[in-house]
Structures are given as structure tokens and as C-alpha cells.
Amino acid sequence: MTTAGVRATARIEARDDGRGGTSLPMLDGEGPLALRRIRSSGSEARVMLVGAMSGPLGGDHLAVEARVGPGARLRVGSAAATIALPGQAKGEARYDVRLDVADGGELSWLPEQLISAGGSELSVSSRVELRGDARLVFREEQVLGRVGEQPGRLTSRLTVRRDGRALLDQELACGPGAPGGWDGPAVLAGHRALGQLVVVRPEFEKEVPAARLLGEYAALTPLVGPAVLVTALAPDALVLRRVLDGALRDLT
């Protein structure tokens, strides 16, 4: 830790172990980012991201990197919600997620919610690189403010690429200082929980799910390539998770 905040990176590497399972030759956490392997299911390795400290705080720069090799299956979750908080160090906090899935690999990225607490400033950047017939489930959930609290400033960008071609590239800014209208009827419409689910499956090349509404504030949209995007708004994290879980059951 310095006066500029904490710098820490957690790294995961998953490989086919040649015996019908997945090995984890790299499982390395730093500072507030601890990694734990938990009970696996079948050929899938499961990893839990455990926050060892509060944060990210102002000035922190945290990163998580995961690489999934051919034939490997990896599922990553987190033990609790991540709470962005104001810190003693001035400036914006950063949280970077870098995911790489090889041809024939499979990644399920299913962390708990990110909560933007009042007074915080956080920039989240998630970049996913897929190759060939890689499979992906990527869930992202954000809650603007704790109970009875105005949110902090949150900027989030998600990019998903397959063989160098963009499947999705979008950015959203919310909270104090964000472009006007972020909380208006054309964007969040007063909701405080927002999320998205990206599912990439090779079989979608032949038959991609049709675009449809998933309730009043959620929709499924096919993307260019074998992928779909589910976006949802909700009054709270519990309702948001229920909507995204229902969509995931329908797609997998």
C-alpha cells in the first residue's frame, strides 16, 4: 500500500489435466485479492475470489486475470459482494478484469454484485478474449448505493472479442458527475440495480435464441457471432439475480 492506494493482481490459469479434469497451475492472489480453490464438479475447476480487505478504495488499482486453456473448464465466483468505498487517497479507484479463453475452453465468470457506495469513484474495465469454439458465461451486476444512500461515481466498460472480432463493446457511467440523464427514463428509470449476462456457445452458430423481453425491465438480444446478451434493471440486487438466473437456466 502507498499514499496512492493499493496495487494488487490476482492470477488464475486453468489447464486440461489429461485425466478428464482441470488443473490450476497458477492460482496467485495479492493484497486484498485472495484466491481459493473449492470443491469441483466433474471436469470443472472452481475458484472463489475472497476479499481480504475493504475496497476498492479511492486510489486503489486492483486486477484479476484468468486464462483457460484448450479443454479446460473454469468457474470463478466471489465470497461476497465487492463494495467500492471512498478512501484516504484521492482519485479514482480502478478494477480491471482480463479473461482469455482458448479454443475448446470454457469459462463461467459469476462473481457477486459490485456495490457503488456513496462518495466512491470507481472505473471498472472487463475485457474478454475468446478463441475458436470457446464457451463463456459472464455475469456482471452493479448496485448503486447501499440502503438509503446515494451512489458513488461508477464507470463500467465491457468488451468481449472472439478471434479478434468484437462481439460486444459497451460503456455505462452512473452517479455524480456522470453525463446527464443516466438516472432518467431512457437509461435506469430510477432503478438502482443493473446487470448483464453474456453467453457464448458454438451451437448458437446454427440457431441463436431470438430477441425477446424477459419482463418489463429485461431483454435478451442476439449478438453478432454465437452469442447473446441479457440486460436487466431491478429495484434491488435480489430481484436482479432472480432475473439473470432465470435467463441463464434458459440458455444453458
Can you tell me the mean pLDDT for 30-57?
86
Residue range 117-134: average pLDDT? 96
Answer with the residue of higher pLDDT: 245 or 187: 245
Domain coordinates in residue numbering, the chain: 7-251
Residue 1 pLDDT: 43
**Given a cut of 70, is residue 2 above it in pLDDT?**
no
Rounded to whole angstroms, the Cα distance separating 208 from 132 reads 17
**In 187-224, which positions are buried (b, 16+ CB within 10 angstroms) versus exposed (e)?**
bbeebbbbbbbbbbbeebeeebbeeeebeebbebeebe
Contact 12, 47 (CB under 8 A): yes
Q: For residue 117, what pLDDT is reported?
A: 93
Name the β-bridge partners of 112.
Answer: none
Would you state the pLDDT for residue 243? Answer: 96
Instruction: Compute the mean pLDDT over every residue in the chain, rounded to the nearest whole number.
Output: 92
Q: Which residue has the higher pLDDT, 178 or 34?
A: 34
Quote the distance between the C-alpha of residue 63 and its chain's center: 12
Which of 53-57, 59-63, 127-131 has the largest mean confidence? 127-131
Beta bridge partners of 65: 11, 98
Q: Taking residues 218-225, what's their average pLDDT?
A: 94
Strand partners, 121: 153
Share of the chain above pLDDT 70, in %: 97
- Mean pLDDT computed over 217-230: 95
- 52 confidence band (pLDDT: 50, 70, 90): low
pLDDT tens readout for residues 65-81: 999 999 999 999 999 99
Q: Is the pLDDT of residue 53 over 80?
A: no
Q: What digits encode the pLDDT tens for the residues 87-119? A: 776 789 999 999 999 999 999 999 999 999 999
Please say whether the dihedral angle defined by the alpha carbons of residues 195, 242, 244 and 98, taken in this order, is positive or negative: positive
φ, ψ (nearest 5 deg) of residue 3: -65, -15
Task: Specify the range with the lowest mean pLDDT, choosing from 2-11, 109-118, 239-248.
Answer: 2-11
